[in-house]
Chain A
Amino acid sequence: MSHRHSRRTALKLLGAGIAATWLMPHLSLANPGGLLRKSIPDGGHLPVIGLGTWRTFNVGSDPQLLDARTEVVRAFFEHGGGLVDSSPMYGSAPDVMGYALEKLGKPDSLYTAEKVWSPAGGSTREQIADLSDRWGVDRFDLVQVHNLTDWREHLEVLKQMKADGEIAHVGITTSHGRRHDQIERIMREHDIDFVQLTYNITHRQVEGRLLPLAKEKGIAVIANRPYDGGGLIKNLKRRHEVPGWAAEKFECRNWADFLLKFIASHPAVTCAIPATTRVEHVIENMRAGHEPMPTQATRERMIRHIASL
């Protein structure tokens, strides 16, 4: 290969990279075939697949299940995982994360995402301090107002904590398509870093206003319920084969690939947070975060395919 040719190739790649960055500001093409990472406010990147803990990590003090969940967390980090999302509303999940991190140590890629909820009543800092103890961490990377509960008071305190360096990022959450008007108003009127909402191939309401707004304002997006609470992937696995064209288009091997790559390939989405109790599933989920991702045209075909089933 001549120098001239390689220079031209390099310029083409650079041009493509600039174009991709311009078209998809959250996209950071790490390495071909590797785990995709997207940028977050104030610098840094997150792998497009995170780990949810709703229902799955609420195991109480059961030693057998504590160890089983620790293995899930281990597999998550071994396969490049970063963001782990929990909430005081998820029962013992924060304690289980504390147990797992004590056993495994805290990998550099760990990005801790927690929530405050319930009537604030001046308890925001207290809630966060309690959760820090339960996780065994000095500070959280992200604290979100869970389902907009007392969001004004919580958000004010969280902003102050961010300014003081006590937390890195501030966010709000919703799920199941609830209160989108209010979420939109907060996104427009307040300086937040993250929004967490429900987005999957069968629940795409957020594509209309919230995702474009997040992209416009540079707000990172966490997509919860990527498998619609588990029912979506369970039904697909039970009743249908993954279409052959999906393998050709974006190396889709299974339904986890199909559903997660759909979410991760949206330009405004930063990461999806599937929850699981099983090591093989967390590995499957993490592999879905690898390139290649479906193009816009393929995404539309994916939607039509799911609608046709």
Chain B
Amino acid sequence: MNDWQTYRLEDFIPFTPDIYWRLLERVNETFWPLHILAVAIGLTALLLALRGNKRTALALLAPAWLTSGIIFHLTYYAELNWAAPWFGWGFIAQAALLLAIALFARSIKAQEPSRRVSTWIGTTVAMLSLLGYPLIAATMGPGLSHAETYGLHPDPTAIATLGVLLLLLRSPTLWLALLIPILWCVIGSLTLIAIDATGALIPLATVTVIAGTAVARSIKSAAQPPI
């Protein structure tokens, strides 16, 4: 039998669920009340995105990637998972990418096909992640002290970013900006599945919704006759 066929998902996760819950809790214990500021910045980015202030909105997403990369991955998660420094640098790279796009990307054309649908989906995903994600731990998980928050924990950071990016960008820049958040959502879901956590499929489901919407929008856009 091929060695790789003998591996299971759990074999790649070097800690037990209680260790992961404590990791979330420790970040909360140490950095509260930074959570309020982080969520406020996230909500501002969403509001600016809805008002069409794209460059500032993109720039406001960057700090959350920087803080969750440095605090969560490089400082805490790195103690448990040898891959965490790679994740941390990936988050820092995403922060840099968002800033670069904010500085250099061309503005999005107005009057996009099915804009209303993608606006609604992007806004809902971002709002749920910014305000609803902490409630998952409080209502279905180990408790509010383990709540995951945008800007400090990677899953809500990536999910909220997916929603806001859907409002702001279009292909191919959109896909470039979505790459790291999508990768993280896949890794995040697989990690949560391996430790049998409640809501494990939420990041993966979000990726499906956002990517599906982006693809549908691209197809409609391509089918639209040139004006």
Interface hit among A6-14, A171-179, A183-191: A171-179
Distance in Å: Cβ of A227 to nearest Cβ of chain B: 12
Inter-chain residue pair count (beta carbon < 8 A): 53
A245: Cβ under 8 A from any B Cβ: no
Q: Which residues of A contact B215 (CB under 8 A)?
A: none
Q: Is B6 an interface residue (CB 8 A)?
A: yes
Interface bracket on A: 20 to 34
Q: Which residues of A contact B16 (CB under 8 A)?
A: 55-56, 277
Say yes or no: B10 contacts A229, CB within 8 Å: yes
User: Whose C-beta in chain A lies nearest to the C-beta of B79?
Assistant: A60
Q: Which residues of B from 1 to 22 have beta carbons under 8 Å from A?
A: 1, 3, 6-8, 10-11, 13-16, 18-19, 22
Complex contact B79–A61 (CB within 8 A): yes
Residues of A within 8 A of B82 (CB): 91
How far is A90 from B11 in the complex, measured between Cα atoms in Å? 11
Interface residues of A in 221-260 (CB under 8 A from B): 229
Q: A60-B76, A60-B79, A60-B80 are in contact. Are A178 and B6 (CB under 8 A)?
A: yes
Q: A58 near B: Cβ within 8 Å?
A: yes
Mark B residues whose CB is within 8 Å of A: 1, 3, 6-8, 10-11, 13-16, 18-19, 22-23, 26, 76, 79-82
From residue A59, how far is it (CB to closest CB) to chain B in Å?
Answer: 5
- By a beta-carbon cutoff of 8 Å, the part of chain A in contact with chain B is 54-56, 58-62, 64-65, 89-92, 176-179, 229, 277
- C-alpha gap A209/B33 in the complex (Å): 60
- Complex: how many Å from CA A179 to CA B3? 8
Tell me whether A58 and B15 are in contact (CB under 8 A): yes
Q: What secondary structure prevails in chain A residues at the interface with B?
A: loop
Report the minimum CB–CB distance from A88 to chain B (whole Å): 10
Q: Which A residues touch B7, using CB under 8 A?
A: 176
Name A178's contact: one of B3, B10, B22 (CB within 8 Å): B3
B22 and A64 form a contact (CB under 8 A): yes
Question: Provided the pairs A91-B80, A92-B80, A177-B1 are in contact, do residues A58 and B6 lie with their beta carbons within 8 angstroms?
Answer: no
A115–chain B nearest beta-carbon distance, Å: 14
A277 touches B14 (CB 8 A): no
Q: How far is the CB of B211 from chain A (nearest CB, A)?
A: 32
A-B pairs with the 10 shortest C-beta distances?
Answer: A60-B79, A176-B6, A58-B15, A91-B14, A55-B16, A178-B3, A58-B14, A60-B80, A59-B19, A62-B22
26 example contacts (A-B, Cβ-Cβ < 8 A) are as follows: A54-B14, A55-B13, A55-B15, A55-B16, A55-B19, A56-B16, A58-B14, A58-B19, A58-B80, A59-B80, A60-B23, A60-B76, A60-B79, A60-B80, A62-B22, A64-B22, A65-B18, A65-B22, A89-B14, A91-B79, A92-B79, A177-B1, A178-B3, A179-B3, A229-B8, A229-B10
Closest chain B CB from A208 CB (angstroms): 15
A91 to B80, CA, bound (A): 6
Distance in Å: Cβ of A268 to nearest Cβ of chain B: 22
Q: Is the CB of A91 within 8 A of B81?
A: yes
Complex contacts, A59 vs chain B, CB 8 Å: 15, 19, 22, 80
Query: Which residues of chain A come closer than 8 Å to B79, judged between CB atoms?
Result: 60-61, 91-92
Q: Tell me the complex Cα distance, A56–B18, Å.
A: 9
